[in-house]
């Protein structure tokens, strides 16, 4: 608790915490913080979302079934955080760089907790690496990840997640900051494993949705989750992660929930594709960002770059961007060259 008080005194001004990004997850985390007695300032890109939060205490676009705590207020000028020592970023991966580059904010010496899960297209950088390029110090960065649908966190359903930072003191600060009787946070120092687990599981979730759309059963889904986890682990270890991390909340835990839940946007995209709908039509109808679409491009490219065999990721990429028929993709996976299970 002394460590927590030290960080609290150094990082949080006037008991206020700033959350950047008023999507479902940023809003849900804001509610957790508000329940923990903090005053939360929530930045919304859309002015109408900010007004909705301030007037109705609801985010009807991104978290419609949750009444927001009275300690939450919204704003739309991101430059207000210039004088803050600490903030939480809930900006989708592909927009992190542009959002901060377009602002007047200097991120040097600011501590950041990132909530996004993804790999930047073209650069193939994880979220931590994007923030490092934006001048955030390695010890000043943490990620929060794990099986945590915003809809369920907003309804205060018991949830466990993991926060990872190279600076374990910062991770422990985040743990105490966010934990309560329905939201439990574990700590890690394996940023690579936590970030890749949270990112690549969205690609596997699209594959899981395709299985649902094709109306296959439990055997097929279990095979997909198990072999998908193997692919996630191979890539993560190749990039320096601890394989055990992928058996934890940021890997297996997040993979299970995202592949099976009706809340999962990535799984839903796959389901619609399995039912014969086109990716372009699906994207046009979506209100919220599904990280898995762009992460499929990034993961496929990352696997090629590091010579990691990821056959499921390859087939999802070919289905989304090369018009491979989902049934043909499944047949190709099932008739691949025989292998030992552990490789």
Residue 199's nearest CA partner among 293, 82, 81, 129 is 293
Number of H helices and number of E strands within the chain?
Answer: 15, 10
Cβ-based neighbours of 337, under 8 Å, separated by 6 or more: none
| CA distance linking residue 168 with residue 2, whole number of Å | 14
Residues sharing a CB contact under 8 Å with residue 326, sequence separation 6 or more, in sequence order: 210, 213, 214, 273, 274, 319
Give which of 186, 198, 209, 261 is closest to 232, Cα–Cα: 198
How many C-beta atoms lie closer than 10 Å to residue 244's C-beta?
12
Residue 260 burial (CB < 10 Å; 0-12/13-18/19+)?
middle
Beta bridge partners of 265: none
What φ, ψ does residue 310 adopt, rounded to 5°? -135, 75
What is the rounded CA–CA span in Å between residue 13 and residue 146? 28
Catalytically annotated residues: 201
Scanning the structure block, which residue is given the tokens 């959350």? 19
| Distance in angstroms (rounded) separating the CA atoms of residues 149 and 139 | 27
Please report, for residues 12, 111, 155, 227, 246, the alpha-carbon distance to residue 172 in angstroms, rounded to integers and kept in the order given: 15, 14, 25, 33, 20
- Distance, CA of 14 to CA of 5 (rounded, Å): 14
- Report which DSSP code applies to 6: H
Q: Is 190 helix (H, G, I), strand (E, B) or coil?
A: coil
């Amino acid at each position: 608790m002394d460590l927590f008080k030290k960080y609290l005194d150094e990082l949080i001004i006037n008991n206020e915490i700033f959350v950047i990004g008023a999507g479902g997850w940023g809003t849900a985390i804001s509610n957790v913080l508000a329940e923990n007695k903090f005053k939360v300032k929530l930045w919304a890109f859309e002015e109408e979302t900010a007004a909705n939060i301030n007037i109705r205490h609801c985010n009807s676009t991104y978290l419609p079934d949750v009444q927001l705590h009275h300690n939450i207020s919204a704003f739309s000028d991101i430059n207000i955080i210039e004088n803050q020592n600490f903030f939480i970023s809930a900006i989708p991966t592909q927009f992190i760089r542009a959002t901060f580059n377009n602002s007047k904010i200097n991120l040097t010496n600011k501590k950041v907790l990132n909530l996004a899960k993804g790999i930047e297209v073209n650069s193939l950088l994880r979220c931590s690496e994007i923030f490092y390029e934006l001048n955030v110090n390695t010890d000043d960065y943490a990620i929060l990840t794990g099986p945590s649908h915003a809809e369920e966190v907003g309804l205060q359903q018991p949830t466990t997640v993991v926060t990872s930072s190279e600076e374990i003191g910062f991770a422990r600060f985040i743990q105490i900051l966010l934990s309560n009787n329905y939201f439990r946070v574990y700590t890690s120092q394996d940023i690579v494993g936590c970030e890749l687990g949270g990112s690549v599981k969205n690609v596997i979730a699209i594959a899981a949705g395709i299985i649902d759309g094709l109306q296959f059963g439990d055997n097929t889904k279990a095979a997909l989750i198990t072999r998908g986890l193997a692919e996630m682990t191979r890539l993560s270890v190749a990039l320096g992660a601890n394989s055990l991390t992928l058996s934890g909340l940021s890997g297996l835990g997040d993979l299970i929930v995202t592949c099976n839940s009706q809340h999962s946007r990535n799984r839903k995209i796959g389901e619609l594709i399995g039912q014969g709908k086109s990716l372009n039509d699906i994207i046009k109808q979506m209100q919220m960002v599904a990280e898995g679409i762009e992460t499929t491009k990034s993961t496929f490219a990352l696997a090629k770059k590091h010579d990691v065999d990821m056959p499921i990721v390859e087939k999802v990429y070919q289905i989304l961007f090369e018009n491979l028929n989902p049934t043909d993709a499944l047949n190709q996976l099932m008739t691949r060259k025989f292998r030992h299970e552990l490789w």
